[in-house]
Amino acid sequence: MKRLPAIGAVLGLALLLGGCAAVVVGAGAAAGYSVYEDRRSSGTQVEDQRIESRASSAIEQRFGWNVHVNVTSYNRQVLITGEVPDAVTHAEVEKLVATTPGVRTLSNELVIGPLSSLAARTGGPRPHAEAFVGKDEAARNTARLNFIGIVFCMMFGTAALPHILMRYYTTPSVQQARVSVFWSLFFIFLLYFTAPCLAVLAKYDMYSNLVGSSFASLPAWAAAWAKVDPGLLNITDINKDGIVQWAEVVIGGDLIVLATPEIAGLPYVVSGLVAAGGLAAALSTADGLLLTIANALSHDLYYKMIDPQASTARRVTLSKTLLVVVAFVAAYVAALKPANILFLVSAAFSFAAAA
């Protein structure tokens, strides 16, 4: 029964088969870079932005300043609000937006009547970012406590990782085990510490070199990555002023890690090395966790609790079988995409911390 906490920790870490360290740094940098959390994929965000831009441009070309229409798209579900002068224009605007490529459903909340004044449409200035977002002070306090809880989960969860626990079984003495664990935690600290630094540096470069520049003279890295995959980077001149605004830039989380070398002026090949290093870290972590999970199930659960008389050959066979089963289960869960990777990593570390 003393083995149950260790088994729980190892099973909880099954969610980390995608490579915990590399994923935490990449996802942490992307999360730190984002002003808010958006559950849409990068591709969906780009598609929604295209729908809004196309529909707004079509309405402007057809009616000019005779109407006031706001187009909002979320997961290709479009909402139009504002004012139009008559019922004919009301129907024409609805038809124009409904025929925009990519629109799945349309909700028409247009009002027939005089156009609202510019002063009536203008609200007070909104803060650019907030450390702990919430509708009131109680919600902000809850967000702050959740953040502190995640910090503790990550801290204790890291100390309970199989990579760290195995240090106690691969060294000949207690003193060497302590030294080995110390250096392991030190290098893990360096790896995790780079995530917020990477986010800050990337965002600083965006504000200083990209935002405010001309669409005719975008940085070379921006033009190159926009061609690679619009889901990674999409810059659209929505207001047609020829100047890049922050709201006109849609960036995928993976780009923060992949494009940082180019943003810093390093050769393009460095981005390939970063991707290869991340893949190697993910695969090596997956191998280690698979072996740890399979051995925990076959030895701690089966041999110690179910069948203490099992032979060595039988335990080895069971361990190999469980390794394949766990790999397929992890691949199946990953294919379902139950949540974003940062949430899954945090959940896995919480399981480890609970043990």
Q: What is the mean pLDDT of residues 266-277?
A: 80
| Lowest mean pLDDT, pick from 95-99, 117-121, 319-323 | 117-121
Alpha-carbon span 316 to 297, nearest angstrom: 11
In 10 A of CB 77, how many CB atoms? 14
Contacts of 263 (CB under 8 A, 6+ apart): 202, 205, 219, 221
What mean pLDDT, rounded, does the chain reach? 76
Stretch 252-280: mean pLDDT: 78
pLDDT value at position 14?
A: 38
Q: How confident is the model at residue 26 (pLDDT cuts 50, 70, 90)?
A: very low
Per residue in 167-223, pLDDT tens?
A: 677 778 888 888 888 887 888 788 778 777 877 887 787 777 777 788 777 777 777
Whether residue 1 has pLDDT greater than 50: no
- For the segment 130-155, the average pLDDT, to the nearest whole number, is 81
* Percentage above 70 pLDDT, the chain: 81
For residue 132, is pLDDT > 80? no
Would you state the pLDDT for residue 41? 66
Residue 344 confidence (pLDDT): 78
Report whether 250 contacts 49 (CB < 8 A): yes
Lowest mean pLDDT, pick from 5-9, 138-142, 263-267: 5-9
8 Å CB contact between 38 and 74:
no
Give how far Cα 289 sits from Cα of 20, 160, 276, 336, Å. 10, 13, 20, 20
**DSSP for 149-209, written as a single string:** HHHHHHHHHHHT-HHHHGGGTSSSSHHHHHHHHHHHHHHHHHHHHHHHHHHHHHHHHIIII
pTM of the model: 0.50
What pLDDT does 12 receive?
40
pLDDT class of 11 with cuts at 50, 70, 90: very low
Pairing label, strands 105-112, 77-84? parallel
What are φ and ψ of residue 316, in 5° steps? -65, -40
- The reported pLDDT for the residue numbered 34 is 45
Query: Residue 149 — very low, low, confident or very high, per pLDDT cuts 50/70/90?
Result: confident
Q: How confident is the model at residue 270 (pLDDT cuts 50, 70, 90)?
A: confident
Residues of 312-322 as b/e, b for ≥16 C-beta within 10 angstroms? eeebeebbeeb
Phi-psi region of 3 (alpha: psi -120 to 50; beta: other; left: phi over 0): alpha
> Over 50: is that where the pLDDT of 81 sits?
yes
Q: How many angstroms separate the CA atoms of 320 and 326, rounded? A: 10
* Per-residue pLDDT, 38: 55
End-to-end Cα spacing for the chain: 13
Write down the pLDDT at residue 19: 45
Say if residues 112 and 88 touch (Cβ distance below 8 Å). Answer: no
Q: Find the mean pLDDT for residues 221-243.
A: 76
Residue 44 has pLDDT above 80, yes or no: no
What pLDDT shows up at residue 125?
Answer: 52
- Is the pLDDT at 280 greater than 50? The verdict is yes
pLDDT, tens digit, for every residue of 100-131? 888 888 888 888 888 877 655 555 555 555 66
Which amino acid would we find at residue 353?
Answer: A
**In the structure, how many helices (H) and strands (E) does the chain have?**
14, 5
